[in-house]
Amino acid sequence: MSQPQPNNMVLESHDLAIGYLYSGRLPLVLARHLHLTIERGQVIGLLGPNGSGKSTLLRTLAGLQPTISGSVKVMGQTIRSNQVRQTARMLSVVLTDRIDVRNLTVFQLVSMGRYPYTDWLGRAGSNDNDRIRTALEQVRLQSYSNRFFNELSDGEQQRTLLAKALVQDTPLIILDEPTAHLDLSNRISIMRLLRTLADETGKSILFSTHDLDLAIHTADHLWLLQKGGVLLQGKPAELMAGEAFEDTFRTGTNEADQNMVSDYFRSLKKRSVEE
């Protein structure tokens, strides 16, 4: 895995609080005092139980919803939810929502990722088309340019959306559960692709997932977001050595369920040591 170089910061948050703002009443805060950093070429995996605020954290870092307090900077520039075009030049986002697109080819859909750089009519130039073709090659879809997006398999659609993020030409790519709708083979393939892209392009990648095994083997660092807003950070091996995973995912009150979670992580640690 790539080793990030010092003084090469891509993203940093300072005293960040995330949640939801409401008119006329107090905000709902899911986590606070978050000091997060991502360096060039790093792959960060965000893990946590349902309802812990993973998607909210990603959307806040991406400027898709406002912070409760604190700040987020990408390449030294503050991310604000009302500066869409400026933000689109610093980071690209792939959300978990399925896209129902008809009558758009793979090339046409990927070309939409160039919108921060096109003229006011949205016209793409020869340089834009070259970048689109390069992105399709990077995700191994160069022969799919003229295929309709809605006719692709789930794995091919996810690669197309990743290519769309790549052509935005941003130092940071954020993905919310990129393997959510995929079978095992495609989940492994997408994770390997993310690792390869970070290593070969130097882009930083932040993704959330429920695939613990794949995250442990893919990411340089993991963020474990617990219910209640506590966020643990570290290298996968460091977090595996303690009980960080158990503390994060052992959320139920049923003793049998808690024991099942503990048994799972004991097995996971044993496999990691054997490997």
pLDDT in tens, 211-266: 999 999 999 999 999 999 999 999 999 998 888 998 898 876 677 777 787 788 88
Q: Using 70 as the pLDDT threshold, list the residues of the chain that sit under it.
A: 1-7, 118-126, 252-253, 272-275
CATH number assigned to the domain comprising residue 67:
3.40.50.300
Q: Are residues 30 and 102 in the same domain?
A: no
Domain interval for residue 142: 98-169
Q: Are residues 20 and 86 in the same domain?
A: yes
Q: Are residues 78 and 208 in the same domain?
A: yes
Q: Are residues 9 and 103 in the same domain?
A: no
Please indicate, yes or no, if residue 113 is contained in any of the structural domains: yes
Q: Which strand (E) or helix (H) includes residue 37?
A: strand 37-39
- pLDDT at position 151 is 93
pLDDT digit string, tens, across residues 190-200: 999 999 999 99
Please indicate, yes or no, if residue 274 is contained in any of the structural domains: no
Residue 115 phi, psi dihedral angles, 5° rounding: -60, -30
Contacts of 200 (CB under 8 A, 6+ apart): 138
Task: Show which of 127, 143, 169 is a domain's final residue.
Answer: 169
Pairing relation of β-strands 69-74 and 43-47? unpaired
Please indicate, yes or no, if residue 153 is contained in any of the structural domains: yes
Q: Are residues 132 and 164 in the same domain?
A: yes
Q: How many structural domains does the chain have?
A: 2
Token reading at 118: 């096109």
Q: Are residues 57 and 68 in the same domain?
A: yes
Q: Are residues 41 and 103 in the same domain?
A: no
**Nearest in space to 167 (alpha carbons), one of 117, 193, 132:** 132
Q: Are residues 80 and 103 in the same domain?
A: no
Contacts of 140 (CB under 8 A, 6+ apart): 159
